[in-house]
């Protein structure tokens, strides 16, 4: 992609979306994702070196279950009527991974990046996203780690008490990413009882407030820590 002359843009536009419907946010992600892809295609076609944009969206969703493209719908353990009773929705979507839950009290981060501005390595991208959360948790005295073969951030890996605190699932095309991570900060863990989280049987899910034994953790504070570690690890500038 004419990389010798390509202007690397490490500025990431931060957008706080608040509490927003999943489908609306997904459509918005798609529009940003398409805009970056279109710019890359235009650059290649016209032999231009115009910079591409990067975004980081922070959002909370009303109760929703999402199933990745390789997922198995049988991992949703309730039917449509029960979904209505729980005031939850369900979408089959175009990220990797299986089924997960999003809801209030969970910080969802959607980095929509042109990775060619940073590095061309999806494996490294996922590991750095995990590291952002691992370093954030360390600031609360919580030792988190990776679980071999299971994307996301876990506690007490290799013990009968292993539990996931942050799920991840991404989509990438031409090195442009979308979707991202879902970090349980003050999540209602009861909603996870209605699924086999990420298709992994026999593994528990937890939330930071539960681990700390407090009613609520400041999401404003958490997001500041996430931003700090994201900018350091990706050598990015958030605006």
Residues designated as active site:
198
Query: For residues 237 and 194, is the Cβ–Cβ distance under 8 A?
Result: no
The answer to the question of whether 98 is labelled as a binding residue is yes
The answer to the question of whether 167 is labelled as a binding residue is yes
The answer to the question of whether 100 is labelled as a binding residue is yes
The answer to the question of whether 144 is labelled as a binding residue is no
Q: For the beta carbon of residue 228, count every other beta carbon within 10 angstroms.
A: 15
The tokens for 72 are: 């198995």
The answer to the question of whether 172 is labelled as a binding residue is no
The answer to the question of whether 61 is labelled as a binding residue is no
* Strands annotated E in the chain: 11-19, 55-60, 64-67, 89-92, 99-102, 106-112, 145-147, 150-155, 163-173, 176-184, 204-205, 237-238
The answer to the question of whether 1 is labelled as a binding residue is no
Annotated binding site: 95-102, 167-169, 180-182
Annotated binding site for substrate: 95-102, 167-169, 180-182
């Amino acid at each position: 992609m004419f990389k010798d002359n390509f202007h690397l843009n490490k500025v990431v536009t931060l957008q706080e979306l608040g509490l927003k419907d999943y489908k609306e946010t997904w459509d918005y992600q798609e529009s940003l994702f398409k805009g970056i892809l279109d710019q890359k295609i235009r650059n290649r076609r016209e032999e231009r070196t115009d910079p591409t944009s990067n975004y980081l969206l922070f959002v909370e969703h009303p109760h929703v279950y999402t199933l990745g493209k390789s997922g198995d719908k049988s991992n949703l353990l309730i039917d449509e009527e029960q979904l209505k009773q729980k005031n939850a929705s369900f979408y089959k979507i175009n990220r990797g991974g299986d089924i997960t839950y999003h809801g209030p009290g969970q910080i969802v981060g959607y980095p929509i990046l042109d990775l060619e501005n940073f590095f061309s390595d999806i494996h490294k991208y996922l590991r750095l996203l995990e590291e952002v959360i691992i370093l954030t948790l360390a600031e609360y005295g919580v030792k988190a780690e990776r679980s071999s073969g299971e994307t996301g951030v876990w506690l007490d890996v290799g013990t009968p008490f292993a539990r996931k605190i942050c799920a991840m699932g991404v989509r990438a095309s031409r090195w442009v990413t979308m979707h991202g991570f879902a970090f349980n900060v003050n999540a209602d863990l009861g909603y996870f009882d209605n699924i086999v989280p990420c298709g992994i049987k026999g593994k528990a899910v937890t939330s930071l407030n539960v681990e700390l034994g407090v009613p609520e953790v400041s999401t404003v504070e958490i997001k500041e820590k996430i931003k700090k570690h994201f900018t350091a690890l990706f050598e990015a500038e958030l605006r």
